[in-house]
Structure 1
Amino acid sequence: MEHNKKWAIVSLASIPLVMTLGNSMLIPVLPTIEKKLKISSFQVSMVITLYSIVAIILIPIAGYLSDRIGRKKVIIPSLIIAGIGGLISGYAAWKMKDPYMMILIGRILQGVGAAGAAPVVMPLVGDMFKSEEEVSKELGVIETANTFGKVLSPILGSVLAGFIWYLPFFSIPVFTAISVILMFFLVQTPDKREDPLPFKEFLKCIKGIFKKDGKWLYSIFVIGCILMFVLFGVLFYLSDMLESKHNIDGIKKGFILAIPLAALCLSSYITGKKIKESKVLMKWITFGGTILLGASVFAISFSENIYFLIGTFVFCGIGIGVALPCLDALITEGIEKEERGTISSVYSSMRFIGVAAGPPVFVLLMKASHQVMFYSITGLCVIAAFIVLKEIKPDEIE
């Protein structure tokens, strides 16, 4: 039984890994897509933004459906839709004269698939394990897979595009097919729902949860959004600095971007194993992580030296990496199984908002001045730390 559960976790961990690759892998390829399609910077940014917007809108619906009809019944079709989206984008880039609109349609389908795949994994882990300690540990593995996808993305995207610029699109259906096979054969889930509540009663129940637990839930939503906003913003900044100030691009840039992400990945994994079921520990690790993140962002303002930048970004990665598994565990363990999918999907939507907002907001702040950017983001991290301190009360999270 234990062996089966280990394989189930490996299978589930493949989903956030694949979904992360499906989006983040394109970031280092965007300048190439812009040149090949002869489009503007704004148009090429839509390749990332539309994916995120669609996911933000549909994630809560996917969460609700997973609570009503079962997790696997939502995850597997979603993975197939994401694969079809990648196939459409890749085929359009390969065969069409003016493929831009079809690439966007493919990316929209990928966003639909992403909404119903990765966010549903978190409540499914909560369903599969009874002990809070086990849930925390396995959510740490899931978060690690997610962050490992971010580590691998810039490297894999650069390598694939080095062969053929549209190859990253075609890699998506291959990855999703692997996840579908793993999910189908290796994940046995408690998918049967006994007498699901009518929709009106379900809404009443969700309102009751927010009335009772709203303070700490809203706090976790905001903190998750801020962490992902800062992560994708500072990655964008580092990517820009490597090219504009240090003339580093291509695969070499991909490997450098992977260094702070590797720190994030490792710290997520270790935190997931150590926090067990201690909500007090989760609170203080999250607080420490946001303070470390704020201090690291503030320190970046002192130098543009490449070694100093990379070193400081490693600490940014650690700060985010220790906080994320704690937030995941607090959400999953604090909500009853019947509403877990819906509540955790709202949290996933908030994280996606941070992902979508990070790069464009950082562009605007950088245009104002780099100092304004650093001080604004430091202030945001301090606000996140204050929210952790003030609003997350372990004794109120059952």
Structure 2
Amino acid sequence: MTRTPETPLPSPEQRRRLREAQSLSQADVAAAMGVTRATVRSWENGRTTPRGSKRDAYARLLTGAEEVTTHQENPAPALVGAVTGPVRASPGHAETTPEPPSETPPASELAPEPEPGLEPLSAPLTPDQAFDALYAFCAPALVRQTYLLTGRRELARESVERAFQLAWHRWPEVAMDRDPAGWVRATAYEFALSPWHRLRPRHRNPEPPPTAPADRALLDVLLQLPPVYRRTLLLYDGVGLDLPETAAETEASTPAAANRLLHAREAVAKRLPELAEPKELHRRLAEVASAERLRATKPTTVRWGGEQRARHWTRAAIAFTVVLIGATTLTLRTAPDHYEPPLAPGVTVRGVPPRVAPGPLSAEELALRAKLKGETVSGPERLVPEPG
């Protein structure tokens, strides 16, 4: 007896994209399939897979989105494929509908490219080799992306180094992640956009802008955008992520990410009309990033720096713990162990006659004293008791 082959399903990474391409939520899919929302989330995470008739129905449900996206040359779904219907703009702007780019953006300096001579190894990689391979693949392009995000060269390099140092510190978690490059990219962006950099003395001194006037104008427009709009524009039009991935990395819904992208493009086109086309904007972003000749630090230096930083923080934590224990012990040894009532403040007593020293005894007083002294031993019985 032969077994009927199961209906093929898209990969877990594509299931969410195909669902959002039809403007369906997880609750809508759960209601159509007769399952719970947690089950649909488990299907999209890859933890479970539907079987039997539910597998066939789930595949047919995703077919409509597949037909929408297969005719596009760009592997990332366009804005109109991910958000159907008009997107409401903020107050003061007209309602607009996102339109897909006419062509697939060409490969640029913003996209990660493997270093020359980097070939896959047949033997299992050690943690050091795997980290170095990820660094060589992502770091050069990530430095250029972060420069467009911040407009500062040193901050871009520092952000990428700190992101990879944190990745090396949490390497088992990063290595098992479905998208290690996205993990490092999100960490670098978060560090680069941190508002605490404004308190650093180095941040008060602006860096020299690009030499080309066109590059300087584009970078100036980007830096005037809100950070979240700038990040959305860079991820979609610069890096080339699709809209669901951009929304996930910016921790926003897909309609919100589309709205941010539209407003960011509108702001850029208002200042620079020649960049109204997404293809031209993508090309110019790549040119500005590649013109700076930014170089990343060697991976061995980054790993060594991360280990040194972790070692210093560990020593600082140990020193702080020792100081805290010592201060607690000293307090326990010197603190009183019983209650001592406070002394009452002094009060002035009035009406007491002044103390007067006795004067010389008169003759009668002298005779009386002599008489008392003489009768103390041989006096009356009432003065000297006798033993019973």
User: TM exceeds 0.5?
Assistant: no
TM-score normalized with structure 1 length: 0.25
- Bigger Rg, which one: 2
Q: Which has the higher helix share?
A: 1
- Higher RCO by CA contacts (8 Å cutoff, separation 6 or greater): 1
